């Protein structure tokens, strides 16, 4: 499971990373969360507005902070 949080470092992306970490521990999946802060790389993931979350190469959300529950449902999607 490859998880990336994209954002230049403001509070929104940190909150997203925190929700993602909480989601991971709640459903018991081990995965490292990679934080991408280099703006020129966002475009490669089709991300135009941060924060953004990419799981296994699939862009799940951009421009807002999703809830832990939403992240859990995406994680479940990716494992099935």
Partner 1 sequence: MTITTVIGSGYQALIEYVVAHTITCLVPAFFIAGAISAFVSKDAILKYFGPKSNKFLAYSVASISGAILAVCSCTVLPLFAGIHRKGAGLGPAIAFLYSGPAINILAVTYTARLLGFDIGLARAIGAVGFAAVIGLIMAFIFRKEEKEKEATSDVPLFAVNDSEKTSDWHRLAFLVLLIAILLTATARVSALIKWPGVVIELLFVFYALWRWFEKDEIRLWLDETWKLAKLIVPILLVGVFFAGAIKALLPTTWVVRFVGGNTIIGNFIASFSGALMYFATLTEVPIIKALMELGMGRGPVLALLLAGPALSLPSMLAIGRVMGAKKTVVYVSLVVLFATISGFTFGALGL
Q: In the annotation, is 26 catalytic?
A: no
DSSP assignment of 21-80 equals HHHHHHHT---PEEEE--HHHHGGGT--SSSEEEETTEEEEESS---HHHHHHHHHHHH-
Q: Which of 48, 58, 69, 73 binds partner 1 (CB under 8 A)?
A: 48
> Whole-angstrom Cα distance, residue 69 to residue 8?
24
| 13 is a catalytic site residue | yes
Rounded to a whole number of angstroms, the minimum distance from the CB of residue 69 to partner 1 is 14
The answer to whether residue 30 forms part of the interface with partner 1 (CB under 8 A) is no
> Which of 1, 2, 9, 10 is the catalytic position?
10
Rule CB under 8 A: is residue 59 a binding residue for partner 1?
yes
Which residues of this chain interact with partner 1, rule CB under 8 A?
6-10, 38-40, 42-43, 46-50, 59, 61-64
């Amino acid at each position: 499971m490859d998880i990336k949080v994209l954002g230049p470092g403001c509070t929104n992306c940190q909150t997203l990373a925190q929700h993602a970490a909480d989601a991971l521990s709640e459903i018991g999946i081990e995965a490292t969360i990679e934080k991408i802060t280099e703006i020129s790389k966002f475009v490669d993931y089709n991300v135009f507005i941060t924060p953004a979350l990419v799981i296994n190469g699939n862009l799940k959300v951009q421009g807002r902070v999703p809830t832990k529950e939403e992240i859990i449902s995406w994680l479940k999607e990716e494992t099935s």
